[in-house]
């Protein structure tokens, strides 16, 4: 849902989002938007900050009352650091500055949509687990929260590294400050640098006014840098200076300003190998890896699968014992995220409130990752290419142009690969964000 009192702006934003694959509704009257929020499934709200009558902060407060699990992204043509931080502290998922950059808009909306729970409030998910290794993780989160040093969170894709980062923030003295996230793999260097440090008016073509960066917005709180292992050597050097000096200079600016920010980072990469191969700076690695936190894979906490599955199925459906037993046997290479998506698909396609073994088996046959056929060398290569491309598309928030850049491919080569690997023909997920 887009809320902006200027019809032309609402129309343009809706068109950009529809181009990105989102089903979008737009409202120019905030009060009417709040009525729709009570009766329709809305996954993300984008609202202008300054509007007559009900402003964006009031919209945010009303959204928190009506649908507390719906992420709200704030938009403004007159942003200041103060208003951005006020919005983030009030619960906004993110902040966009007009004029809107299409790639930034789609990236931020994709990230916000990923936070929207499909069937239950996921706020307690970081602590949802009873396996011994998860108890160890919970205790380490508490200790890391009491400290002030940088934390490096390691774990496979889909294990919940961002949820662990948020839990560390919530258990720290900075819990009342902003928790700001940045996916380092989703943006090329030019966008990543401006997103991190902000920019001054006139810094580059299209910079029509000043914009604070994520570091500045996180002042007094925590900045979470996801997929830190993906950044280039040039950005590694700039990030190292930031961690050492705790100061920033906006792009196009001359003034250096100190920041009071705690840094958390996450990666699924083998950084030690990257350091040995010269792909990752050793000094930056040591700066990041002060407090290492390892998030266990779902394979290491199989006893938690029944608990997680029943949590994801929600209150209107149930899994029978045979279905739960079968879920506990599966490999789950995509970890908790894959289990969640799988259970949500079971619910969406279920004809009855009780989901049984036959339902699970049917979906297993459709999921090539859970039931892979015997493969020769050519099939292995094809599977690896397919998984890497899908991972890049996920990292890019569904933006295929960005995914091509992440993979170092031209757009033509990338789209040819999509056709060859039958990725273009994949159906949209059952709970595609609006």
Using DSSP's 3-state secondary structure scheme, residue 101 falls into: coil
Residue 376 pLDDT:
57
End-of-domain residue from the set 225, 259, 294: 294
Do residues 277 and 158 share a domain? Answer: yes
Do residues 287 and 241 share a domain? Answer: yes
Do residues 151 and 287 share a domain? Answer: yes
> What's the count of helices (H) and strands (E) in the chain, helices before strands?
19, 16
Do residues 101 and 154 share a domain? Answer: no
Do residues 153 and 275 share a domain? Answer: yes
Residue 207 pLDDT:
63
Question: For residue 21, what is the domain's CATH number?
Answer: 3.40.50.2300
**Are the C-beta atoms of 414 and 406 separated by less than 8 Å?**
no
Q: Is residue 220 part of a domain?
A: yes
Say what the alpha-carbon torsion angle 322, 301, 159, 224 is, to the nearest 10 degrees: 140
Q: Which parts of 289-334 fold into alpha helices (H)?
A: 305-313, 321-329
Do residues 85 and 192 share a domain? Answer: no
Q: Is residue 327 part of a domain?
A: no
End-of-domain residue from the set 294, 328, 355: 294
Do residues 212 and 270 share a domain? Answer: yes
Spatial separation of the C-alpha atoms in residues 50 and 48, rounded to whole Å:
6
Q: Is residue 139 part of a domain?
A: no
pTM of the shown model: 0.63
Residue 116 pLDDT:
64
Chain Cα centroid distance, residue 54 = 29
Q: Are strands 291-294 and 151-154 parallel, antiparallel or unpaired?
A: parallel
Using DSSP's 3-state secondary structure scheme, residue 74 falls into: strand
Spatial separation of the C-alpha atoms in residues 369 and 323, rounded to whole Å:
18
Residue 355 pLDDT:
95
Do residues 97 and 165 share a domain? Answer: no
Do residues 76 and 207 share a domain? Answer: no
Do residues 156 and 284 share a domain? Answer: yes
* Nearest by Cα to 344 from 141, 117, 148, 122: 117
Where the chain has pLDDT below 50, the residues are 118-126, 372-375, 425-434
Q: Is residue 356 part of a domain?
A: no
Q: Is residue 315 part of a domain?
A: no
Query: Into how many domains does the chain fold?
Result: 2
Q: Is residue 252 part of a domain?
A: yes
Residue 433 pLDDT:
42
Q: Is 91 exposed, middle or buried (0-12, 13-18, 19+ CB in 10 A)?
A: middle
Q: Is residue 334 part of a domain?
A: no
Residue 93 pLDDT:
86
Residue 115 pLDDT:
66
Spatial separation of the C-alpha atoms in residues 364 and 350, rounded to whole Å:
14
Do residues 177 and 71 share a domain? Answer: no
State the residue range of the domain holding 46. Answer: 2-114
Q: Is residue 307 part of a domain?
A: no
End-of-domain residue from the set 240, 271, 294: 294
Do residues 163 and 108 share a domain? Answer: no
């Amino acid at each position: 849902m887009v809320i902006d009192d200027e019809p032309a702006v609402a129309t343009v934003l809706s068109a950009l989002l529809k181009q990105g694959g989102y089903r979008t509704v737009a409202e120019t009257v905030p009060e009417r938007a709040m009525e729709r929020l009570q009766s329709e499934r809305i996954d993300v709200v984008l609202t202008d900050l300054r509007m007559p009558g009900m402003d964006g902060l009031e919209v945010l407060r009303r959204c928190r009352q009506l649908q507390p699990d719906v992420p709200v992204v704030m938009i403004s043509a007159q942003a200041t650091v103060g208003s951005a931080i006020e919005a983030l502290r009030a619960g906004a998922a993110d902040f966009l500055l007009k004029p809107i950059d299409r790639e930034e808009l789609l990236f931020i909306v994709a990230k916000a949509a990923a936070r929207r729970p499909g069937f239950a409030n996921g706020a307690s998910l970081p602590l949802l687990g009873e396996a011994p290794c998860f108890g160890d993780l919970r205790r380490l989160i508490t200790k890391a929260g009491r400290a002030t040093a940088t934390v490096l969170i390691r774990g496979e894709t889909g294990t919940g590294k961002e949820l662990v980062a948020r839990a560390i923030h919530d258990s720290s003295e900075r819990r009342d400050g902003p928790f700001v996230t940045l996916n380092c793999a989703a943006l090329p260097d030019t966008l990543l640098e401006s997103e991190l440090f902000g920019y001054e008016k006139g810094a580059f073509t299209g910079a029509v006014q000043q914009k604070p960066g994520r570091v500045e917005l996180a002042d007094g709180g925590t900045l979470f840098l996801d997929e830190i292992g993906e950044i280039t050597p040039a950005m590694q050097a700039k990030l190292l200076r930031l961690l050492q000096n705790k100061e920033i200079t906006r792009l196009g600016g001359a003034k250096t300003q100190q920041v009071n920010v705690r840094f958390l980072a996450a990666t699924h990469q083998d950084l030690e190998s990257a350091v040995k191969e010269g792909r990752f700076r050793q000094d930056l690695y040591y700066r990041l890896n002060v407090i290492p936190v390892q998030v266990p894979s779902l394979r290491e906490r199989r006893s938690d699968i029944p608990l997680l599955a029943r949590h994801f199925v929600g209150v209107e459906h149930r899994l029978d014992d045979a279905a739960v037993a079968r879920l506990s046997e599966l490999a789950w290479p995509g970890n908790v995220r894959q289990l969640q998506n799988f259970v949500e698909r079971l619910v969406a396609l279920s004809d009855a409130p009780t989901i049984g073994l036959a339902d699970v088996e049917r979906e297993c046959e459709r999921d090539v990752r859970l039931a892979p056929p015997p493969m020769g060398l050519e099939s292995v290569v094809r599977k690896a290419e397919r998984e890497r491309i899908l991972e890049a598309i996920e990292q890019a928030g569904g933006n295929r142009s960005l995914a091509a850049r992440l993979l170092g491919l031209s757009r033509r080569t990338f789209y040819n690969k999509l056709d060859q690997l039958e990725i273009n023909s994949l159906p949209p997920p059952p709970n595609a964000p609006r």
